[in-house]
Amino acid sequence: MRADLIASEFSLPGQPVAVRPFGAGNINDTYLAIFRDGRNEQPAIIQKIRRKIFPEPAIIMHNLRELSEHLQKSLSANAAQADRAWKFPEIIKTKKGADFIAEPEGDIWRALTFIPGAQTYESVQSLAHAFEVGLVLGHFHRTVEPLPTTQFKLALPGFHQAPQYWANFEAVLQQPSAQAMLKILPSAQIAKEFIVARKGSLLALSDALAKGKLKLSISHGDPKAGNVMIDNETGRGVGLIDLDTVQPGLREHDFGDAARSLCNPAGEDPANLGDVGLDLELLKAFIDGYKIEVSQMQNRGSENFYYEAILGMTLELGLRFLTDHLAGDRYFKVRKPGQNLYRAQAQFRLAETIEKQEKEIRELVRTI
C-alpha cells in the first residue's frame, strides 16, 4: 500500500497533507508525514517494516511497546533530577486502537512520534559529540537495566551472534563460487586468512557469556552516532532512536559497536584504506560520557570485556562483509562489484590499529 494512504489510518488530528521519504536508513521504508488540522500542523514518522528482514515484525512492536512503557515511567520519575529533556519515539495507535497495520504478505506499517528540535549525524562531529554519544548510550543502558530479558523477544534471531556468523562463513567457503573467487582474488584470500587467524578474538564475548562471565541484558543493537539525537540548541544528546533491534543481548556488543563506528572517522566506505584507524582521543571522549551513566548502575559485571568488545565487533562486521562478498552480495547493498570486500578490508584494517593500540585502549576502558 502507498504511504500516504496508510498515514491517514493513524490516530492523529487532521489529515496528512504531505508524505515524503525521510532519513538514510537501509532497512525500513521511512516517511515524514505532515498532518494538518486547521492552522495547526504535526509531523509524524510513518514506517514500513519488512518481513524479509524481520521474520516476525509484530515482535518488534511488542518489544517497542514494552520499552516505551518502561521509558515513560522511568523518565517521568527522574525528570526533576535530569539535566536535559530525554526523548524517544513513541507509538501512535491506529484509528482502530492497534499498534500497527499488517499487510497480507506479512509486512507491517506503523507511526511514531517525530522528535522536534534535534537531529542525528552519520559521522562524529567533534570530541564533544563523541562524549554525548557515550553519555546517551550509557543512559540507555542504565535506564533499561531493571528490565528482565524475559519481557522481550528476539526480533532478529542470530543478531550479533558471532558463532553463527562464523558458521555461515564456513558454509559459504564450501561453495564452488566462493572457492573460485578466493583463487582469482588475492585480496579476498588475504582477508580470509586475516579473520581465520583471529577467530578467538571474534568469539571472545560469546565465550565469556557461555562461561558465565557476562550476562544478558536489554541491548539497543545498533547504537551508532547516526542513531543518537542531538539537541539543535544545546548540542546535548537527548536519546536513541531506531529501536527495532532492541532485544536481549550484551551491553558489551553495544559499547563495542558504538566505539568501532564512532572512533573511526574514515567510516565503513573510506576513500582510502590508509585513512582507517581508531582515534584514541575520540574513544576517550566517548568513554568519559559513557562512564558517567554506567557508574550509577547496580550491576556492571565482574569483569571488563570492553577491549574485547571493540575488537570483536570490528572483526564481526568485517566477517559479515567478507561472507556476503563471497556469497554474491546477498545482504548488504552494494553500488559496485567488490564493495563488500573493500568494506571487509576497511574493518580488518581498523582491527589492526585496535590491536596495535591494545595497551592504550585497555587503560582507557579500565576506568569504566
Look at residue 349 in the predicted model and tell me its pLDDT: 98
Look at residue 212 in the predicted model and tell me its pLDDT: 93
- Residue pLDDT, tens place only, 161-188: 999 999 999 999 999 999 999 999 999 9
3-115 has which CATH code?
3.30.200.20
User: Strands across the sheet with 118-119, in order?
Assistant: 118-119, 228-231, 237-240
C-alpha grid cell for residue 297?
548502575
- Residue pLDDT, tens place only, 213-266: 999 999 999 999 999 999 999 999 999 999 999 999 999 999 999 999 999 999
User: Which among 30, 297, 344 has a CA at the least distance from the CA of 137?
Assistant: 297
Confidence category of residue 61, pLDDT binned at 50, 70, 90: very high
Look at residue 344 in the predicted model and tell me its pLDDT: 98
127-365 has which CATH code?
3.90.1200.10
Q: Contact at 8 Å (CB) between 99 and 107? A: no
Q: How many residues does the chain have?
A: 368
For residue 108, the SS3 value is: strand
Domain range summary for the chain, segments of one domain joined by +: 3-115, 127-365
- Residue pLDDT, tens place only, 263-321: 999 999 999 999 999 999 999 999 999 999 998 886 655 468 999 999 999 999 999 99
User: Which among 65, 180, 158 has a CA at the least distance from the CA of 112?
Assistant: 65
Percentage of the chain beyond pLDDT 90 is 82
Q: Contact at 8 Å (CB) between 198 and 85? A: no
Alpha helices per DSSP H over 328-357: 339-356
Percentage of the chain beyond pLDDT 70 is 97
Look at residue 299 in the predicted model and tell me its pLDDT: 61
Look at residue 296 in the predicted model and tell me its pLDDT: 81
Q: Is the pLDDT of residue 359 over 70?
A: yes
Q: How many CB atoms are closer than 10 A to CB 328?
A: 13
Q: Contact at 8 Å (CB) between 341 and 284? A: no
Between CA 267 and CA 202 the distance in angstroms is 20
Q: How far apart are the first and last CA of the chain?
A: 48
Average pLDDT over residues 143-169: 94
**pLDDT mean across residues, the chain:** 93
With helix as H, strand as E and coil as C, how does 39-70 read? Answer: CEEEEEEEEEECCCCCCCHHHHHHHHHHHHHH
Average pLDDT over residues 338-360: 97
Look at residue 55 in the predicted model and tell me its pLDDT: 86
Look at residue 144 in the predicted model and tell me its pLDDT: 96
pTM reported for the whole predicted model: 0.92
Confidence category of residue 346, pLDDT binned at 50, 70, 90: very high
Q: Is the pLDDT of residue 360 over 60?
A: yes
